[in-house]
Amino acid sequence: MRKIGFRQLGAVLATTFSLAAGAADGGDLARAEEIVSGRCFLCHGMEGESASPVFPRLAGQHADYIAKQLGDFKSGKRNSDTMKPQAEELTPAEMKALGAFFQAKSVGPRPAKDPELLAVGKFVFNRGNQFSGLPACSACHGAKGLGTPQLPRLAGQHPRYIEDQLKQFNKRERTNDNAVMHTVASKLSELETHAVAEYIATLD
């Protein structure tokens, strides 16, 4: 039998672990697709494109953020009569897999409708409002609204959904995420809320 050197053995082991990891990822994504096709697609679509503007677009959203929200729905930390029963039976591994599944989907901007309203939204998003003490959205969510694994991607989201979430933050009905959003939402006027939501939808 031919002897294998340490370098060759290392290469063999690396390949083996890589194949095993790939198989695991494939299995996880297959399980995620099974879950999506069984329940999630009804509201969010198979590609993460929601069936209604009251439901969030999940395509392109950060995997870690999706997994966290599912965990919060399951624990009740984020209140939702609709999502709690959907998340109750999910394991942490399935939540991560669902996050990876939707993050891999493509997402694009929504067409601009009202240039003057978008100009207001762009100003608020990028510069805030120094007169009311409103900080710029871009300070946390990025200039293009792409967010981070801890902060949601906003770009391309339904305006109606953005407005609904801002109202929930303002009323302290949503408390599972950064408490800073309570202050931010309370400083937004109705016009600013609508305008920034419309602008966010056009980001890519």
Residue spans of the chain under pLDDT 70: 1-27
Tell me whether domains 6-103 and 115-201 share a fold: yes
CATH code for the structural domain at 6-103: 1.10.760.10
pLDDT at 33: 97
Element (H, E) at 86: helix 83-87
The pLDDT value given to residue 178? 85
Q: What is the DSSP letter of 46?
A: T
Alpha carbons 199 and 162: distance in angstroms, whole number = 11
pLDDT at residue number 51: 82
pLDDT value of residue 107: 85
Give pLDDT, residue 21.
41
Instruction: Assess if CATH 2.40.37.10 describes domain 115-201.
Output: no
Do the beta carbons of residue 40 and residue 86 sit within 8 Å?
yes
Residue 129, classed as helix, strand or coil, is: strand
Domain locations in the chain?
A: 6-103, 115-201
Find out whether 92 and 71 touch, Cβ atoms under 8 Å.
yes
